Copies of this chain bind each other. A is one copy, B any other.
Amino acid sequence: MSKDILLFQTVASVLFMNTILSNLVPCPPACASCQLRKTGAFTPVDANELAFIEAFRSGTLALQAGDTLIHEQRPSGKLFTLYAGWAFRYKTLSDGRRQILNFLLPGDLIGLQQEFTDGAMHGIEAVTDISLCVFSREKLWDLFRSYPSLGYDITWLAAREEGMVDDNLLTAGRRNATERVAMLLMHLYRRLERLGLAHDGSVAFPINQQHVADTLGLSLVHTNKTMRRLRRLGLHEIRNGRLWLRNPKALQQLADYYDVPLRKVPLL
């Protein structure tokens, strides 16, 4: 830590420091100044809806990389919208084998299944430092009653996430290691790009090979060898926490990936 930073720390709160050090983007105090909505990736809401969302929101929350937002098995009582950073949903078997179900990126609604699903639960863990808007579950019914349009949006989000898990199941069940890696790279790149998070042909890529392995249902070693090969073939490059698709065409073909028209998505 440099002298300047140390000096700075004497006048800034530790919390704020963490923010600076990790590049965490905190949630804005009011939904009106939400930066996510300005990306154009989300469906617009009218003033009334926005006001309701604002009232629905019970606060914000910041977690550090590696923290657990929702524990497997333990119901959470809250809903969240991920505002900044990466997280993932996962399930584990009792002997520790872990499967990542899907990654959560800014704008994703978190915790909906906790309420409804009757199977065992899933956990949610932060990949990077993250900031979230918090909603209380008790008010969810109010939302459906008062603003059916928002209820409709929530159903949309639920169905969209299911579609994502569907894709991951197809990948884990029927693609080989090479195809799986290619699929994941394409999928994440496109999602981030849609959010306007691609810069100079690259996107942030904060996950490690263990995350990739747990997502794809592969071992760490085989994941490594597969990614290494794809990199040697010049298909992609991961460096300094960023991902470049050096040959998207080839990756797309390998993965049997189809680009879909980017639709706007609801944002709560």
* A interface, CB within 8 angstroms of B: 89, 91, 93-95, 97-99, 101, 112-113, 115-120, 122, 141, 144-145, 148-149, 151-152, 154-170, 172-175, 216-217, 256, 258, 260-263, 265
Would A99 and B170 be within 8 Å (CB), given that A159-B112, A162-B161 are in contact?
A: yes
24 residue pairs bridging A and B, Cβ less than 8 Å apart: A91-B166, A93-B170, A95-B256, A99-B173, A99-B174, A101-B166, A112-B155, A113-B166, A115-B156, A116-B155, A116-B157, A117-B162, A117-B163, A118-B260, A118-B262, A119-B163, A141-B152, A144-B152, A145-B148, A151-B152, A155-B158, A169-B169, A172-B173, A173-B216
A contact face: mostly helix, strand, loop, or mixed: helix
Most chain B beta-carbon neighbours within 10 Å: one of A115, A149, A162, A256: A162
Q: Which of B93, B122, B151, B261 contacts A118 (CB 8 A)?
A: B261
Would A120 and B217 be within 8 Å (CB), given that A152-B144, A165-B165 are in contact?
A: no
Residue of B nearest to A161 (CB): B162
Residue of B nearest to A101 (CB): B166
- Whether the pair B260, A174 counts as a contact (CB closer than 8 A) is no
Q: Which of B117, B144, B175, B265 contacts A160 (CB 8 A)?
A: B117
The answer for the CA separation of A119 and B256 in the assembled complex, in Å, is: 13
- For residue A175, which residues in chain B have a CB less than 8 angstroms away from its CB? 93, 97
The answer for the CA separation of A166 and B72 in the assembled complex, in Å, is: 13
- Whether the pair B174, A98 counts as a contact (CB closer than 8 A) is yes
Which 6 pairs between the two chains have the least Cβ-Cβ distance? A173-B217, A117-B163, A116-B159, A162-B162, A158-B158, A172-B173
